[in-house]
Amino acid sequence: MGHADKHRIGDLLQRNWKTLVTALPFIWLLLFFLAPFFIVLKISVAESLIASPPFSALLDWSDGGFPSMTINTDNYAYLWEDELYLRTYLNSLKIAAISTLLCLLIGYPMAYGIVRTSGTTRYLLLLLVILPFWTSFLLRVYAWIGLLTDQGTINDVLLWLGLTDKPIRLMYSEFAVYVGIVYSYLPFMILPLYANMEKLDLALNEAAGDLGAKPLTAFLTVTLPLTLPGIIAGCLLVFIPATGEFVIPDLLGGGNVLMIGRLLSSEFNANHDWPVASAVAVVLLILLVIPMMLYHRVQSRSTNAQPSAETA
C-alpha cells in the first residue's frame, strides 16, 4: 500500500512539477516580501507610543468579542506638512535621475565597445565589469572614503602635482554621493545593455550605411531604437535602488546630502518613530512602483515582439 502511495506521489509530482517550480518562489516572495510589506503598512497607520513595540495596535480587542480598527493617517499628513520630507523625496529622485543619466552616458559606450570585441577580450572585459561584485559593497564604499577625504589619495596626488595648495573638499558633498552611486551601479547599467546589444545584428548598421545613412544617422535611426529596451532596463535597475540608497549618502554624503534612505533610517533609529519611518517607506515604495510597472510593460512588450510569427 505504501508502495502504491509513493507511486501516486511520484505521478503527482511528475504531472505538476511546472506548477511547483513556479509556485515555490511565489510562496517565498509572499512570505518574505509581501508579509513584511503589510506589517510596514500596518505600522505606518499606527500611533507612535513610548512602549515596546513603539506603536499602537491596529486592532483593539479590549471591547468584548468585536475588534475595533483604528487607522491613523496623521503620519502621511505629517510627511506632506513638513517640507523636509517633500524636499528629501525630490532630492532623492533628482540624485537618482542624474546618477542614472551619468551611468547611461558611461555605460552605453562601454557596452557597445564590449559587444564589438570578440572571443577572449569580450569575456575579459565582461569579467572586469562583474569583478567588483566579488568584494563587499560596503567595503568598496569605504574604499571611496579613503580616496575622497581631505587626506585621501586624490587630494594627495593633487597636492603633490601642485594643482592645489590646500585639499579640495570632496567628501560629504553631493559630488561624493554621485561618484559613489555611479561607481556602484554602473554594472547594473552595462549588463542589460550588453545583453541587448549582443543580439543586435551588425549587418543592420551596414545596411543603413549602404542605404545612404552616415554613421551618426545610422546610430540614431537603427542602433538607438533597437537598444531602447536595454536602455530602459538598465536605467530602471540603476534608478530604483539609487532612489532609496542609504549606505552611499550616509557614508559619503554625511549630513549634507538629503536622501530619503538616510531620513528613514534616522526616523527609525534616532527618533524611534516607527510609524513615521514606515510611512516614509510606504511612500517611497509607491514612488518606485511607477517606474517598476513601466519597466514591466516594456519587458512584456519586447518579449511579445520576439517570437518570429511565420504568417504567410
Partner 1 sequence: MNQPHHRPDPYTERPWLNPAISPFIQIQGVTKRFGDFTAVNAVDLAIYQGELFALLGGSGCGKTTLLRMLAGFETPTEGRIIIDGLDMTEVPPYERPVNMMFQSYALFPHMNVFNNIAYGLRRDGIKSDELKRRVNDIIDMVELNPLTHRRPHQLSGGQRQRVALARALVKQPKVLLLDEPLAALDKRLREQTQFELMNIQDQLGITFVVVTHDQEEAMTLATRIAVMGAGQFEQVGTPADIYENPQTRFIAGFIGSANLLSGTVQDCQPEKGTDDAPDTSRVQIVTDEGNQLLSVSTDRVVAAGDAVTLAIRPEKISVTLQDSAVSDTADKVPDNAPNTVSNNGSGTVPGYVSGNVPENVLWGTVQEMAYLGRLSTFRIKTDAGPTLEVTAPNQRRVLDNRHLIDWDDRVRLTFSSDSAVLLTR
Distance CA 181, CA 69 (A): 42
Query: Which residue lies nearer to partner 1 by CB, 156 or 201?
Result: 201
Query: Which residue lies nearer to partner 1 by CB, 175 or 219?
Result: 219
Cβ neighbours for 278, distance < 8 A, ≥ 6 positions apart: 40, 41, 43, 44, 46, 75
Residues in the chain: 312
Helix (H) or strand (E) holding 257: none
Distance CA 257, CA 171 (A): 11
Query: Which residue lies nearer to partner 1 by CB, 62 or 118?
Result: 118
Angle between helices 35-44 and 274-305 (to 10 degrees): 140
Nearest approach, Cβ of residue 237 and partner 1 (Å): 22
Do the Cβ atoms of 208 and 225 come closer than 8 Å?
no
Binding site for partner 1 (CB under 8 A): 201, 203-204, 206-214, 217, 221-222, 225-226, 305-312
Nearest approach, Cβ of residue 231 and partner 1 (Å): 14
Query: Which residue lies nearer to partner 1 by CB, 168 or 228?
Result: 228
Query: Which residue lies nearer to partner 1 by CB, 73 or 217?
Result: 217
Backbone angles phi, psi at 59, to 5 degrees: -110, 130
Nearest approach, Cβ of residue 134 and partner 1 (Å): 35
Q: What is the C-alpha R_g of the chain?
A: 26
Nearest approach, Cβ of residue 188 and partner 1 (Å): 25
Nearest approach, Cβ of residue 224 and partner 1 (Å): 10
